[in-house]
């Protein structure tokens, strides 16, 4: 992650794109190998999504910074929306843990689509900066990411409220 940020700061966008892509591929392979060989751990199931979120939040933050002179940036309002959603999810998990006890928090299909759109946006902005012009359909990706981020945030909140009201433990 620090390498990715430094490459953006020094405007090595092609290398930053490669590092981001490599991070995504290795994360995917790590997950596949863990599932294939039964190497999943409680710590891994906690740390892997956390690392993914840190990478996405770092990418959004650095790619929305106006002071870097990037040709194409992620709108600051979208970055604030994405980070706010993630903070609300973390706070909600803590509240559920404190009030109801430990729960398994499974990702939803909507949450996975949200992450995919966020990653697509980061890659699109990186490619745009590498070629020096916005890629085709970038505005659509921005608004799709907004819609999915807000929708999944609301969906997780509803699920969390239902979980707090339950008597018997059930996966989140």
Q: Which residues contact 19 (CB under 8 A, 6 or more apart)?
A: 3, 4, 7
Q: What is the pLDDT at residue 34?
A: 75
Q: Which residues contact 144 (CB under 8 A, 6 or more apart)?
A: 117
Q: What is the pLDDT at residue 45?
A: 67
Q: Average pLDDT, stretch 26-52? A: 75
6/16 Cα distance (integer angstroms):
8
In Å, what is the CA distance from 123 to each residue of 60, 72, 98, 105?
A: 11, 12, 37, 27
Answer yes or no: is pLDDT of 50 > 80: no
Asked if residues 8 and 67 have their Cβ atoms less than 8 Å apart, the reply is no
Pick 106 or 122 by higher pLDDT. Answer: 122
Q: Average pLDDT, stretch 109-117? A: 92
Asked if residues 169 and 106 have their Cβ atoms less than 8 Å apart, the reply is no
The pLDDT tens digits for 120-146 are 999 999 999 999 999 999 999 999 999
Q: For residue 66, what is the DSSP state?
A: G
102/98 Cα distance (integer angstroms):
8
Q: What is the pLDDT at residue 171?
A: 55
pTM of the predicted protein model: 0.86
Sign of the Cα pseudo-torsion (16, 20, 22, 26, in order): positive
The pLDDT tens digits for 72-84 are 999 999 999 999 9
| Spans of all domains in the chain | 2-165
Cβ-in-10-Å burial (0-12, 13-18, 19+) of 20 comes to buried
Q: What is the pLDDT at residue 167?
A: 53
Q: What is the pLDDT at residue 43?
A: 67
Answer yes or no: is pLDDT of 170 > 70: no
Q: Average pLDDT, stretch 94-123? A: 85
Q: What is the domain class of 2-165 according to CATH?
A: mainly alpha
50/66 Cα distance (integer angstroms):
26
14/8 Cα distance (integer angstroms):
9
pLDDT-derived band at 169, boundaries 50, 70, 90: low
| Averaged pLDDT of the chain | 87
153/21 Cα distance (integer angstroms):
26
């Amino acid at each position: 992650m620090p390498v990715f940020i430094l490459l953006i700061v020094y405007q090595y966008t092609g290398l930053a794109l490669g590092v981001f892509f490599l991070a995504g591929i290795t994360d995917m392979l790590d997950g596949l190998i863990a599932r294939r060989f039964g190497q999943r751990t409680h710590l891994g199931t906690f740390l892997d999504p956390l690392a993914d979120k840190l990478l996405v939040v770092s990418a959004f933050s650095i790619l929305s910074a106006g002071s870097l002179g990037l040709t194409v940036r992620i709108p600051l309002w979208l970055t604030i929306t994405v980070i706010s959603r993630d903070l609300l999810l973390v706070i909600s998990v803590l509240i559920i843990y404190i009030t109801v006890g430990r729960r398994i928090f499974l990702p939803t299909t909507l949450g996975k689509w949200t992450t995919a759109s966020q990653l697509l946006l980061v890659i699109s902005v990186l490619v745009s900066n590498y070629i020096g012009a916005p890629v085709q359909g970038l505005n659509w990706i921005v608004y799709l990411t907004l819609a999915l981020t807000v929708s999944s945030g609301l969906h997780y909140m509803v699920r969390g409220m239902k979980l707090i009201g339950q008597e018997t433990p059930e996966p989140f």
